[in-house]
Amino acid sequence: MLDETAKGVFTIAATPFLPDGALDVQSLDTMTDFYMEKGATGLTILGIMGEAGKLSASESATAIERICARADVPVIVGVSAPGFAQIEATTQIAMDKGAAGVMVAPPSNLRTDAQIVGYYRTLGERLGSIPWVIQDFPLVTNVQIDPNVILKIVEDNPACVMLKHEDWPGLEKIAALRAASDGGARRISILCGNGGQFLLEEMIRGADGAMTGFAYPEMMRDVVQ
């Protein structure tokens, strides 16, 4: 199961499609094998880059099952959805198929700190002890999450074990979170996106690794290590 000690390079997997738009199941295997050969320490699937919205429910389940069965590293499944019922349903499938945890982005209609904290508090209540990741990607979600809000979410939700940080570049946010954990706040894993463009600077400020779709995981590992 995913926990606060997670580190390294969690590659965000693309979702392969056939020319007719159907899921390319065979390519899921070769893609997973490629990521394993290149040294990914984890995989993240069905996130924003993974084009989860283009899959049917059965295709999503197939992708989760196939990748989790083939990968020998922790797999995080993106389960973001408009409603909690769908998030719960996809989360249950993911965990039943062997996922290490799930990732949830805030819906774009959240505007205040209280709304963001309340949303993730409800999420935590619905998911129980299942480990989950905050996906902080304001360039896409249009939701700005202040470091103090993240700290409150972490305080309220023991199962929140990771921040997928993709602010632009957001180096001050990482520094603020690490300063807080150095001062006694609960420390969670921070993995960063942005194509790895700021990875060295992010690592210097206390990030634990990368979570990005950059096509050469071995290069990311060289930076992280």
Domain assignment present for 109:
yes
Q: What is the CATH number of the domain that holds 79?
A: 3.20.20.70
Which pair of structure tokens corresponds to residue 174?
A: 């990482």
The label of the residue with tokens 């290590």 reads: 225
Q: Would residue 171 count as lying in a domain?
A: yes
Quick one: which H or E segment has residue 204?
A: helix 199-204
Residue 2 resides in a domain: no
Task: Give the span between the Cα atoms of 44 and 209, in whole angstroms.
Answer: 13
**DSSP H helical segments within 6-130, as ranges?**
25-37, 57-70, 84-96, 113-127
Q: At what angle do helices 113-127 and 147-156 cross, to 10 degrees?
A: 30
Q: How far apart are CA 213 and CA 196, in angstroms?
A: 9
Question: Does the residue 91 lie in any domain?
Answer: yes
60 lies in some domain: yes
Total structural domains in the chain? 1
Between the two ends of the chain, the Cα-to-Cα distance in Å is: 23
Domain residues for the domain of 215 are 8-224
Position 89 in a domain: yes
Cut 0.95: pTM above it: yes
Between strands 42-45 and 8-12, the pairing is parallel
Q: Within a domain: residue 69?
A: yes
User: Would you write out the chain's pLDDT as a tens digit for each of its 225 residues?
Assistant: 999 999 999 999 999 999 999 999 999 999 999 999 999 999 999 988 888 989 999 999 999 999 999 999 999 999 999 999 999 999 999 999 999 999 999 999 999 999 999 999 999 999 999 999 999 999 999 999 999 999 999 999 999 999 999 998 799 999 999 999 999 999 999 999 999 999 999 999 999 999 999 989 999 999 998
- The answer to the question of residue 1 being in a domain is no
Residue showing tokens 């989860």: 52
